[in-house]
Amino acid sequence: MLIKDKLKNKKPLISFEIFPPKKDYPVETIYNTIDALNDMKPDFISVTYGAGGSTKDTTVEIASFIKSKYNLSPLAHLTCLTSTKEEIEEILESLKASGVKNILALRGDHPQESTYKGPNHYKYAKDLIRQIRKRDEFCIGAACYPEKHLECKSLYKDLVHLKEKVDEGVDFLITQLFFDNEIFYRFKERADKLNINTPILAGILPVLNRNQIEKITSLTGCTLPKKFIRILEKYEHQPEALKEAGIAYAIEQIIDLLSWGIDGIHVYTMNRPKTTRRILESIRTIRGVLTNEKVS
């Protein structure tokens, strides 16, 4: 099913993000994770696309597996910086052949070496979206950044670029992770003012250890609220306590977003179904009340 149709029929959606196994591991090593995640009845599972297209084939293979084994909607991420238009067309063909109809269209991050290789390569996600939209057979998602994209000088400019991207035919947006819901609510108000009316799913990451947070803040530039920093400092040397507090923090964030009326929650699972289950169990009744569905 197309995610845009799901969004018309039911809100909030609950979705999970996974990443393919590293290059030297067989693709099957992810199947147990998917099995455990599928038990939690997500509305869809998204599969990331490795930097520079490094997991090109496995992303398609895993998305196809999700579709054929569970009849669950997969969302295949696709980046464009390092692929030619012809290569992108080939990937679109293999997604179509596998019955994968939802694509998260992204630019990707600049690798170390120079990337833009000429007119046969795209510079921005909106160019990729234009190419996908021409085929008129995919539901298209895109990324958005409540605290602006790291490369952009201001949130206003980033929102103008977001509007251009959405106008190319985006059906829904997923946010980069954030830890302060108020920042997201302000972002949503500013997006509304620019007539960015696309449904937005909030990307939530349960933080489980200190290293993870250092990496994330340097990659995304996201703000850490004081109460979050207090948790990090207090339990820095007690990994189990930090993990518990990180999960509780994510649950609190999700409950607030659901009460606010968010279109969907997208959990960055980091391929950890046990953590994801703890979150989902904590919101089981709320999820049931909001969607009018019995969730086991």
Interface with ligand FAD: number of residues (CB under 6 A): 22
Nearer residue to ligand FAD within complex by CB, 85 or 161: 161
Binding residues for ligand FAD restricted to 114-133, rule: CB under 6 A: 124-125
**Stretch of 21-29, 90-98, 102-110, 111-119 contacting ligand FAD, by CB under 6 A:** 102-110
Distances 265 to 9, 223, 252 between C-alpha atoms, Å = 16, 19, 13
Nearer residue to ligand FAD within complex by CB, 48 or 181: 48
**Stretch of 66-74, 101-109, 190-198, 242-250 contacting ligand FAD, by CB under 6 A:** 101-109
Binding residues for ligand FAD restricted to 187-216, rule: CB under 6 A: 203
**Stretch of 63-71, 132-140, 145-153, 185-193 contacting ligand FAD, by CB under 6 A:** 145-153
Q: Which residues are known catalytic residues?
A: 17
Nearer residue to ligand FAD within complex by CB, 51 or 224: 51
Q: Is residue 56 involved in binding ligand FAD (CB under 6 A)?
A: no
CB of 126 to ligand FAD, least distance (A): 6
Please identify which residue in 44, 49, 138, 228 interacts with ligand FAD, judged by CB under 6 A.
Answer: 49
Q: Is residue 279 involved in binding ligand FAD (CB under 6 A)?
A: no
**Stretch of 24-32, 37-45, 143-151, 234-242 contacting ligand FAD, by CB under 6 A:** 143-151
Q: Which residues bind ligand FAD (CB under 6 A)?
A: 48-49, 51, 77, 79, 104, 106-109, 124-125, 143, 149, 151-152, 158, 161, 165, 174, 176, 203
